[in-house]
Amino acid sequence: MKSSGSITMMTVTEWTTPRPTARVQRETLHDFTLGELEAWVEERGLPRYRARQLFHWAYQQLVLEYESVSVLPKAMRSELSETLPISGLVPVRQRVSDDRETIKLLFRTRDDQFVETVVMFYPDRTTVCVSCQIGCAIGCSFCATGLSGLIRNLSAGEMVSQVVHAARLARERERRISNIVVMGMGEPFHNYDAVMRFVAIVNDRQGLGIGARHITLSTAGVVPFIDRLAEEPYQVKLAVSLHAPNDALRSQLVPINRRWPIDELLAACRRYVARTGRRVTFEYVLIEDVNDDERTAAELARRLRGLLCHVNLIPYNPTPAAPLFRRPGPERIERFRAVLERYGIPATVRYSRGVEIAAACGQLRAQEEARSRRRRATTS
């Protein structure tokens, strides 16, 4: 969920963290489903019930270190810390918005990359916006994440860790994470297997127990995976980043449109609705004089007619990716929405959260990368 707006005051917390060691371990506890963890402990000659204990402490108690797992013998705690660390992410910075309702987190991975996560507190829900990749290969013209290209996929465990860290913050306010949106850095359908493993882990009732209907995957339109998602047992929600009603415009904004043009994309969405009975959310970033006039709104409405859907209009959040793009004023935004409504297409304007703390998703990481480069230059 890309955030937007002017920068005012904020609270920044920084942690000094040990640099990751050269040895990058592939698996953490957060990568395992409960069934796999049971198999894993048994293979090591430990009783099966230890797996449930570990799962409980990881997701009900939200521990990040075995030292805090008091039910385990001391020797087992230190052995597990060596063989199966709980999380692969270390928090490095936290920014809290003025109204305290949005928190942006920056993590360091074991291979010294940076990952962003946003936690949003609403009166009736607490949502965490999770990243699924470092960078993104799609390169939409308005998106800061796409600027650097794709560095690598995140593992399921690295996604789960983002939610656990968010849940710890929520717990400080006596709240629980109720919703997950995979709308941070990256394209979930370019990392499909890890994303579905992530869904399985956070959905487990013995763990975080987040209902699949409360989990949204947002795609730029990787068509084959829309069909694949429709066949999954998990009833996760689908959001599609449309941003334009015709191929000429959409191909400029979302390059993957050249591979899967709008007709194919919308046909897949119709199949998805027919197969699942679930409505699709279309995201539409409004950019002044690019895709925000009333004729474009009418064209969009005509294309979506008859499709069970909802449109989220997201006023463009300025990023260095597209310095010439501007956010439209409130009247233009409202006119666009009203045209959709006139055609019977339900639409909501979503001013994204985290305005002053975050700017667009991908920017905090970009800032941190620049700092790291400067540090390296001064120490070498």
Q: Which does 146 bind (CB under 5 to 8 A by kind): ligand SAH, ligand SF4, none?
A: ligand SF4
Residue selected from 31, 158, 187, 356 as contacting ligand SAH according to rule CB under 6 A? 187
User: Taking CB under 6 A as the rule, which mask of x and - marks residues 94-133 in contact with ligand SAH?
Assistant: ----------------------------------------
3-state helix, strand, coil in the chain (%, to 5): 40, 20, 40
DSSP string computed for 22-35: S---S--GGG--HH
Residue pair 129/123 in contact by the 8 Å Cβ criterion? no
Is residue 138 a contact point for ligand SF4 (CB under 6 A)? yes
Relative to beta strand 133-135, strand 280-286 is: unpaired
What is the nearest approach in angstroms of ligand SF4 to the Cβ of residue 70?
Answer: 41
Residue selected from 153, 162, 241, 291 as contacting ligand SAH according to rule CB under 6 A? 241
Selecting among 140, 143, 269, 361, the annotated active-site residue is 361
Q: Which stretch binds ligand SF4 (CB under 6 A): 45-53, 142-150, 173-181, 196-204?
A: 142-150
Residue 40: its H or E element: helix 34-43
Nearest to 284 by CA among 298, 295, 300, 271: 300
Query: Please, which residues have CB within 8 angstroms of residue 358's CB and are 6 or more apart in sequence?
Result: 3, 95, 102, 104, 116, 118, 364
Contact set for ligand SAH, span 139-158 (CB under 6 A): 140, 142-143
Q: How many residues form the binding site for ligand SAH (CB under 6 A)?
A: 18
Is residue 166 a contact point for ligand SAH (CB under 6 A)? no
What is the nearest approach in angstroms of ligand SAH to the Cβ of residue 49?
Answer: 39
- Cβ closest to ligand SAH, residue 32 vs residue 142: 142
Is residue 359 a contact point for ligand SAH (CB under 6 A)? no
Number of other CB atoms surrounding residue 23 within 10 Å? 6
| 129 is annotated as an active-site residue | no
Is residue 4 a contact point for ligand SF4 (CB under 6 A)? no
Residues 129, 344: Cα–Cα separation, whole Å: 29
Residue pair 316/327 in contact by the 8 Å Cβ criterion? yes
Number of other CB atoms surrounding residue 365 within 10 Å? 24
| 231 is annotated as an active-site residue | no
Q: Which stretch binds ligand SF4 (CB under 6 A): 136-144, 161-169, 209-217, 334-342?
A: 136-144
Residue selected from 118, 143, 242, 269 as contacting ligand SF4 according to rule CB under 6 A? 143
Is residue 194 a contact point for ligand SAH (CB under 6 A)? no
Is residue 319 a contact point for ligand SAH (CB under 6 A)? yes
Relative to beta strand 280-286, strand 237-241 is: parallel
Residues 300, 15: Cα–Cα separation, whole Å: 46
- What residues form DSSP beta bridges with 350? none
What is the nearest approach in angstroms of ligand SF4 to the Cβ of residue 320?
Answer: 13
Q: DSSP 3-state assignment of 321?
A: coil
User: Taking CB under 6 A as the rule, which mask of x and - marks residues 292-331 in contact with ligand SF4?
Assistant: ----------------------------------------
Nearest to 285 by CA among 315, 310, 256, 255: 315
Take residue 160 and report the two structure tokens written for it: 């789960």
- Cβ closest to ligand SF4, residue 36 vs residue 247: 247
- The residues of the shown chain that bind ligand SF4, judged by CB under 6 A, are 136, 138-140, 143, 145-146, 186-187, 220, 241
